[in-house]
Structure 1
Amino acid sequence: MHDPDARPYQPIEAYGLISNCHGCALVARDGSIDWACLERFDAPPVFSRLLDRRRGGFFALAPETPFESARLYLPGTNILETTFTCATGAATVHDFMLAPEPGRALPCLVRLVSGVSGHVPMRAAYRPLAGFATRFPDLVAVPGGAGAEGLPDLIADLDLTVEGGEAVARFTIAHGGEQSFALFSGGAGDREALRPRDLMEAARRSWIGWSAGAAYDGPLADQLLRSALTLKALTYAPSGAIVAAATTSLPEEIGGIRNWDYRFCWIRDACLSFYVLKKFGMVAEAEAFFRFVGGLAERDEGGLKPLYAIAGEADLSEHEAAHFEGWRGSAPVRYGNEAAEQHQSDAYGQVLDLLHLYHSLGGTIPDAMARQAVRLADFAAAHWHETDAGLWEPRKPEQHYLHAAIMNWVAVDRAIRLFGERPHWREARDAIVARVNGEGVHRDGYYPQYLGGDDPDAALLIAPMVGFPVDEAAFARTVDVVIARLGHGPLVYRYRNDDGLPGHEGTFLICAFWLVDALAWLGRTEEAQTRFDALRALQNDVGLYAEEVAEDRTFLGNFPQAFSHLAFIHSALVLDLAHQGGREAVAGTYADRTLRETRWRRVPWIVPPAE
């Protein structure tokens, strides 16, 4: 075990993300890689100091003398540049990852140190750990590298020594000098493949080429591109799945138990994800994501699960690493997610909404997918009035959630638009509207979380954005109640009532952006813009969002969070439309807004013909 007086936990906002669209890593502002799942996002980590400062693995690289650091992403890329400045000079570290290539032994992660001025004494320390193992491996140093059985090989430009269980290199970097470190998975280390400057240029060109395809040229194009690049970085290339976040078990409350594994793909935001991907010209990613979700819908005829592993696996059995203390003492550390076994009926509406958007953009829905869509709509029509677990995955008895009813309405409404009217679909659609706008309205005139309840729920803010025919007075009152009872400045809690778990949580960024959208829909555009600008200022120094934000504006929850970036982009697009065309431009479904924008801005949305 290394020094018990290990460095303290770093704030979540202190991290930057690097990725090769298979796996990813988080690099702290002080140069330490404290989290990395290299072969795929949901694989056991190689570096895990993020979740236990003593027992977790890491790869540190920084000056040995006191320093200040500043960082940025190279424009249009996910290559992270950190500049360290100390009394004797300055040096930069470029961190990036490379996608695997069949038949070619490339490093999966490269760290390139360059001297900027003067001379800087540097120290590298490599200490990997196999998943959540209870003991560190015995590292073996060899000329120009180090490794351990079953873990990545580290190849370097200089020799390392093993000190206290760490493979350590000390060197001085002078102006114009370079040193490099590279990790090879599967014991495939090959010094001949280590041409770090060439590898970085290849990675840069690849990211730049991808970014050049961005179709969006409206306000905040640079910031929105950073969020699009983050979404790309969280996309699992072999399947097209988008993980909810890069991490597991970063807490919703410091010291609490609300620590979940988010390295999986949730169906919930399928339509929003496709919408944003298409908006930015990410045609290949959008098509791959559509095929992934469509394949799940075709396969799981017995009903969709709310989330899946990134290659489509349904078994996400939840486990705990009981010996890990968790970030800042927030235990347990979990891997797997038992919420995959919950019944969340809003998933049916999400899939039908995705198919409707895809078809509206000129896509052809395969016959098998169409048949499953009909089955999902039939199920929604027959069971919409039943209880379910709700979208927030509380650990408590099921309820008649209004959000679930609205999304079941979406399921049958989109089925009618796609396949024509059928009596039981029409009857269900009308009955849902009657219930939500009738007994669903609280005696004080707003929509509560569930039938007969008193508590507000930010999930109801999405209702008009999916085209649901809300009672406008009730919806306006709901917005005001959310602001009064769930709001904290520009931030919004998803709910404040009991959810069957001890403790509390931070505000949810996606809910704050939903409020922006809702205000724009109501025509309160100036208020929406003010809130949006305040939320935009909450990004960390390299443009990343977590899942949650505490009232003191520090980050909570898993990071970076795809849904927060999706919602940020969506709100920017909604405000763009609202400023151009007012309330009418914002109204309707995703498909309505998409086609409306296509006419106005000549955006290349249309789905290309199948090859």
Structure 2
Amino acid sequence: MSDQLTEIAAHPVPPLVDGYPEIADHGLIGDGQTAALVGLDGTVRWLCLPRFDGAALFAALLDADRGGAWTLRPAGLRAVRQEYLPDTAVLRTELHAASGRLEIRDALLVGGDDPTDGPDGRPAGGPELGVAGGELARLVTVLDGEVDLAIELTGRGGLRACAETDEIRLDFPAGGSPPLRLTASRPIAGLDRLAGRIRLTAGERIGLVLRWADGPTRHRSADQVAAAIDRTAAGWRIWSREISFTGPHADLVRRSAITLKLCDDHDSGAVVAAPTSSLPERIGGERNWDYRFTWIRDAAYTVYALRRVGLASEAESFLSWILDACTRDGGPRVLYTVDGTRPAAERIDHELAGYRGSAPVRWGNAAADQVQHDVYGEILDCAWQWARAGGEIDDRRWGRLTSLGRSALAHWRTPGNGIWEIRRSGRLFTYSVAMCQVAADRMARMATATGRRGEVAQWRQAAADIREALLTEAWDERAGHFTEHLGVPGTLDASLLALPLRRLVEPTDPRMVATVEAVQRRLGAGGDLLYRYLPDESPDGLTGHEGAFLLCSFWWVDNLAGSGQLDRAHELFDQLCARVNHVGLLPEQIDPATGAFLGNFPQAFSHIGLISSAVNLARYGGRRS
């Protein structure tokens, strides 16, 4: 099959800032167990093994000197370009040197490692995205001229190389895992010392494979490496056929869906918030967090987004994982590892300097121990989606869901750390109260749908009582908008924009329209950007400020569309879509002053927002004018 690549121009090599590339200057590859970031210059600067939350083998984004990276660099590098093979997670990076031009194709292999075709004529393992190969394959091809290529590997905490008959064994002490294996399709001087050099001419190519799965690789020759990458691309294309969307910015919706799949643990169905840790929300600040886990809060939004672009299987897998994890040990946690367990305690890594000196680097996330009462609504909203799609809720599961609903009723007036996970004493956040109302409402809906009619009335009444309290106590009559906390006038946070999305209030309600306008005025960061809150007005226990939070802007789009302001909604959505990087990826936050990407990258929540807003705009229709 032809790759049908887009003809995009090469650009000069982007300059480093403080010794680091821009966060945006990377593409993501993955295999359903882990993911890697590949720079515009062909350098792999992020890879954790053997899964998303494993030890970082390559972490040069967090320390350019000591983090570790895999570099493929031609002498005299002048220009670069990078793109995905269409509808795949295979990256193609083109490097223009003074004397020639080369292409690198990078993939984390999926679908098994059998180099033969299957009985149906398709590449063996092609559609099996659930099978991670445990290998990073890199195919280098010289397109024209000749190139002197440097191949260097360094690892977080150091690598020890031992050359064997047909491979190089790498000991990675910091990883605590079995030895890695590096193979090349032809001899490369110095590669046994992890600093190889080779001259290649037009038409020549090299296959390189880094393997952490058990046993040796079966991809030895350049042809075999190329075939393995082709099988991986074929698998992604087959999977991508399930994506169904024809509305605004359909190309970015498809890329967002693939990006969410790259954040999906294929074995469990869990979706991590981002594949990275500690990329800063403000350069030089302390707001640096580990996002390589699954937040329950993300679940309902993720399931909604996946379902509406045709990915029902992924939605069902995630729903099943959520319900199992959250009802397993008596009570829900805020976040989990991909196998449904509690993350290790948060710790600070004093050896890594942080991206552009933004310390500290953190592994683990202390939010796992926070009190966040919105989780009850998130889980029960997921359970309702499960039931509505035909999922069975037997008496055992119903009992566990009932316990969650009762916890929401018991705690909805109890202060907590809230959706933004403040690191100071809890407050009675409006969003948390709203999600406790959602918990009661969804219990009533599920009781109706599953024939448990004797329980419907009590849940409906509880939902009505909480809703009435919220609409009364969160409304600031003097300011003319809803507030961040119940009973505390004045302050705003952007989670208020989610109230219509959770059916607490209609987007056309004058109170909600006024709240949206107040959020824009008070939290606006310029143009299409919003801060999620202002730390000076809503203290969070941390120093400094952060960037604009992209998901909040997508919520803004949804509110505008829901209130009939379609021209403004489409214009805002167009502006947000223009912020994707060269391969269609989005971060958590944007620096309003420069437009630079901030926070962990790519951020699942941002791509969920893009999909959801596109779906909503398609549902409401085109522009008025």
3-state SS of paired residue (1:406): helix
In structure 2, how many angstroms separate the alpha carbons of the residues matched to 1:484 and 1:542? 32
3-state SS of paired residue (1:110): strand
Q: Please, which moves more after superposition, 449-458 or 186-195?
A: 186-195
Long gaps (5+) in structure 2: 1-15, 116-131, 173-178, 449-454
Equivalent residue letter for 2:517: D
3-state SS of paired residue (2:96): strand
**Native 8 Å contact 2:110 2:232 kept in 1:** no
Structure-2 change in CA distance of 1:106 and 1:193 (3 Å): farther
3-state SS of paired residue (1:324): coil
Q: Find 1:417's aligned residue among 445, 453, 459.
A: 445
Correspondence for 2:520: 483
**Native 8 Å contact 2:281 2:547 kept in 1:** yes
Equivalent residue letter for 1:329: G
Q: How does 1:504-515 map to 2 (within 5 A)?
A: 504-515=545-556
3-state SS of paired residue (2:56): coil
How far did 1:466 drift? 1.1
Equivalent residue letter for 1:441: W
**Native 8 Å contact 1:161 1:167 kept in 2:** no
Equivalent residue letter for 1:446: H
Q: Find 1:572's aligned residue among 610, 614, 624.
A: 614
In structure 1, how many angstroms separate the alpha carbons of the residues matched to 2:367 and 2:205? 47
Q: Find 2:217's aligned residue among 184, 190, 194.
A: 190
**1:541-576 alpha-carbon deviations (Å, 9 max, x no partner):** 000001000011100000000000000000001111
Q: Please, which moves more after superposition, 190-199 or 337-346?
A: 190-199
How far did 1:429 drift? 1.6
Query: 1:472 and 2:509 equivalent?
Result: yes
In structure 1, how many angstroms separate the alpha carbons of the residues matched to 2:396 and 2:347? 35
Query: 1:324 and 2:365 equivalent?
Result: no
**1:426-456 alpha-carbon deviations (Å, 9 max, x no partner):** 3332222222211211121111111214211
- RMSD (Å), alpha carbons: 2.3
In structure 2, how many angstroms separate the alpha carbons of the residues matched to 1:386 and 1:430? 18
In structure 2, how many angstroms separate the alpha carbons of the residues matched to 1:15 and 1:554? 13
Correspondence for 2:79: 68
In structure 2, how many angstroms separate the alpha carbons of the residues matched to 1:387 and 1:426? 23
Correspondence for 1:126: 153
**Native 8 Å contact 1:356 1:418 kept in 2:** yes
Structure-2 change in CA distance of 1:416 and 1:342 (3 Å): same
Q: How does 1:494-509 map to 2 (within 5 A)?
A: 494-496=532-534, 497=537, 498-509=539-550
Q: How does 1:37-436 map to 2 (within 5 A)?
A: 37-99=48-110, 101=112, 108-129=135-156, 133=157, 136-142=158-164, 145-150=167-172, 151-160=179-188, 162=190, 167-185=194-212, 188-190=215-217, 195-301=224-330, 303-420=331-448, 421-422=455-456, 424-436=458-470
3-state SS of paired residue (2:73): strand
In structure 2, how many angstroms separate the alpha carbons of the residues matched to 1:241 and 1:383? 27
3-state SS of paired residue (2:621): helix
Equivalent residue letter for 1:262: Y
3-state SS of paired residue (1:126): strand
Structure-2 change in CA distance of 1:73 and 1:418 (3 Å): same
Structure-2 change in CA distance of 1:31 and 1:103 (3 Å): closer
How far did 1:145 drift? 4.1
Correspondence for 2:121: none
TM-score (norm 2): 0.87
3-state SS of paired residue (1:22): coil
Structure-2 change in CA distance of 1:218 and 1:365 (3 Å): farther
Equivalent residue letter for 1:448: T
**Native 8 Å contact 2:270 2:338 kept in 1:** yes
How far did 1:16 drift? 0.7
Query: 1:456 and 2:492 equivalent?
Result: yes
In structure 2, how many angstroms separate the alpha carbons of the residues matched to 1:166 and 1:489? 51
In structure 2, how many angstroms separate the alpha carbons of the residues matched to 1:171 and 1:15? 25
**Native 8 Å contact 1:107 1:189 kept in 2:** no
How far did 1:524 drift? 1.2
Structure-2 change in CA distance of 1:559 and 1:106 (3 Å): closer
Q: How does 1:13-24 map to 2 (within 5 A)?
A: 13-24=24-35
Equivalent residue letter for 1:400: L
Correspondence for 2:471: 437
Structure-2 change in CA distance of 1:480 and 1:192 (3 Å): closer
In structure 1, how many angstroms separate the alpha carbons of the residues matched to 2:346 and 2:193? 31
**Native 8 Å contact 2:71 2:152 kept in 1:** yes
Equivalent residue letter for 2:569: A
**Native 8 Å contact 2:76 2:97 kept in 1:** yes
How far did 1:580 drift? 6.4
**1:371-415 alpha-carbon deviations (Å, 9 max, x no partner):** 211111112122212211101000111111100111111100111
TM-score (norm 1): 0.89
In structure 2, how many angstroms separate the alpha carbons of the residues matched to 1:102 and 1:339? 39
Q: Please, which moves more after superposition, 18-27 or 373-382?
A: 373-382
Equivalent residue letter for 2:392: T
How far did 1:368 drift? 2.8
**Native 8 Å contact 1:141 1:161 kept in 2:** no
Structure-2 change in CA distance of 1:102 and 1:374 (3 Å): farther
Q: How many residues align?
A: 571
**Native 8 Å contact 1:126 1:168 kept in 2:** yes
3-state SS of paired residue (1:169): strand
Q: Find 2:585's aligned residue among 544, 547, 553.
A: 544
In structure 2, how many angstroms separate the alpha carbons of the residues matched to 1:477 and 1:450? 17
In structure 2, how many angstroms separate the alpha carbons of the residues matched to 1:464 and 1:225? 26
Equivalent residue letter for 2:171: E
% identity of equivalent residues = 36
**1:455-495 alpha-carbon deviations (Å, 9 max, x no partner):** 11100101111111359222111111111111121011100
In structure 1, how many angstroms separate the alpha carbons of the residues matched to 2:50 and 2:352? 22
3-state SS of paired residue (1:148): strand
3-state SS of paired residue (1:115): strand
In structure 1, how many angstroms separate the alpha carbons of the residues matched to 2:243 and 2:324? 27
In structure 1, how many angstroms separate the alpha carbons of the residues matched to 2:109 and 2:497? 40
